[in-house]
Amino acid sequence: MNDTFLKACRGEKTDYTPIWMMRQAGRYLPEYQKVRANFTFLELCKTPELCVEVTLQPVDILGVDAAILFSDILIPMEAMGAPLYFHEGRGPIFPEPVRTREALDRLIVPDPELHTGFVMETIRLLRKELKVPLIGFSGAPFTLATYLIEGGSSKVFWETKKMMFTQPDLFHSLMEKITACTSLYLQAQARAGAQALQIFDSWAGVLAPCDFEEFALPYVQKIISDLKATGLPIIYFANNGATLLELSVQSGADVLGLDWRIDIGDAVKVVGNRAVQGNIDPFALMLPKDKLRQRIGNLLHGARNAHGHIFNLGHGIHQFTPPDQAKIAIDAVHELSANHKYR
């Protein structure tokens, strides 16, 4: 087992900087497209054998140092009783948004083995195949709530913030139920064999720091507190969250994921004795090879004083990224960090 990723999460000395990429199992890979062509997205997510195949693809093709479970953050929201479908052009759709107490009361806190057992089976199967650590994951409660309240993706989050500011009791009640669901879901992933857990707060950056502290952070803290008993490294990633980093440190996470909007050296100073993950702009993968290697070298140098560093993109890899460019980046991280020129 290549445990370099886990060592970096714990702040232990590593021979080189480990790397994986958010959305590394996905649309940019022709091998994924071949599998996806025969199934809807939800069918793929709910078929363990297929999830295993696409989870393994970037490990085998690109040589990343960790695998992340192929699934979607909204799977447990469907298990709560919120109808869900994926529109090819618009993304996830919840046709029955949760905007009233009645709608909230219809949601359940599901048994993760009973209602999302296919996820746990995928983890169990992957552990038999993988020679790198497996990352399980979930969405963070605030991000999940936005999808339920808005009925899908949003640019301005009108319905979400309207509920926050005009019906705070309802909003907090929804967050409590989502938090209970998410905590159980991640604990089940740990029991199934996940070796690290990442919490994605994709929309945290739409919040002012004071609102993040009141409406989002306490629920992340509750989940991470519940997960401490697993002994697994916990990664918290607040996208567009540079203004929230000092608060994110209070989440209790072992590793803080960083997007590209903050200098990694500045982030290291804020984070202190926690590891960091990130944070190259996903579009920087399109740079010519020499400039990409230079960008990677500069980032490794910026992270040289980190308690631990896992190299990653600042967000998911873009679907039109040539796989060869991703491979150049992965090889460069391994080479440049191993010779300690930039570390």
Q: Is 261 a catalytic residue?
A: no
Choice among 27, 127, 191, 261 that is catalytic: 27
Set 16, 23, 28, 32: catalytic member? 23
Task: Determine whether 65 is an active site residue.
Answer: no
The one catalytic residue in 65, 72, 201, 254 is: 72
- For residue 124, indicate whether it is catalytic: no
Q: Are 11 and 276 in contact (CB under 8 A)?
A: no
Residue from 3, 10, 36, 342 carrying the catalytic annotation: 36
Catalytic one among 16, 28, 32, 147?
147
**Residue 23 annotated as catalytic:** yes
Active site residue 36: yes
Residues marked active site are found at 23, 27, 36, 72, 147
